[in-house]
């Protein structure tokens, strides 16, 4: 049991010293780290594929026609999602994931897209 896992257990509200519970918190922490790394790798691979051209990016964010419009659409959906009843939220989980991904892509390419694509054109 390392100090980070014990600190994680305390941060979660566990104040005991059961080795089984501490091991469970360590497993939860490591699983979360693994999922975060996997998600980062998937997002990086997607961004790397979209760096190849502006047309690919525009196809990924359709029906929006610019990064700003994609940001507005995603933010609007996320705000509406938070106001939905729970039963509707459960059915629209995939849409929320797509909106978050669109938000991430639009932010990245709004900042760096013009630089990337102008280098490619040169």
pLDDT 10s digits, 14-60: 988 889 999 999 999 999 999 999 989 998 998 998 888 888 888 88
Mutual angle of helices 19-50 and 93-121, in 10-degree steps: 50
Q: Alpha-carbon torsion 88, 91, 93, 96, what sign? A: negative
Q: What is the mean pLDDT of the chain?
A: 89
Peptide bond into 10 cis (omega under 30): no
**pTM of the model as a whole:** 0.69
Query: 122 falls in which pLDDT band (50, 70, 90)?
Result: low
Place of tokens 């509200």: 13
Q: Alpha-carbon torsion 80, 110, 97, 92, what sign? A: positive
């Amino acid at each position: 049991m390392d100090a980070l896992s014990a600190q994680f257990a305390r941060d979660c509200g566990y104040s005991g010293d059961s080795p089984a519970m501490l091991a469970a918190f360590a497993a939860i922490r490591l699983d979360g780290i693994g999922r975060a790394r996997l998600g980062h790798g998937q997002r990086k691979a997607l961004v790397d594929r979209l760096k190849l051209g502006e047309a690919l990016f525009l196809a990924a964010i359709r029906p929006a026609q610019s990064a700003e419009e994609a940001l507005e659409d995603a933010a609007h959906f996320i705000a509406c999602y938070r106001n939905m009843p729970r039963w509707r939220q459960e059915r629209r989980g995939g849409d929320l994931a797509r909106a978050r991904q669109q938000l991430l892509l639009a932010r990245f390419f709004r900042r760096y897209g013009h630089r990337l694509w102008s280098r490619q054109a040169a």
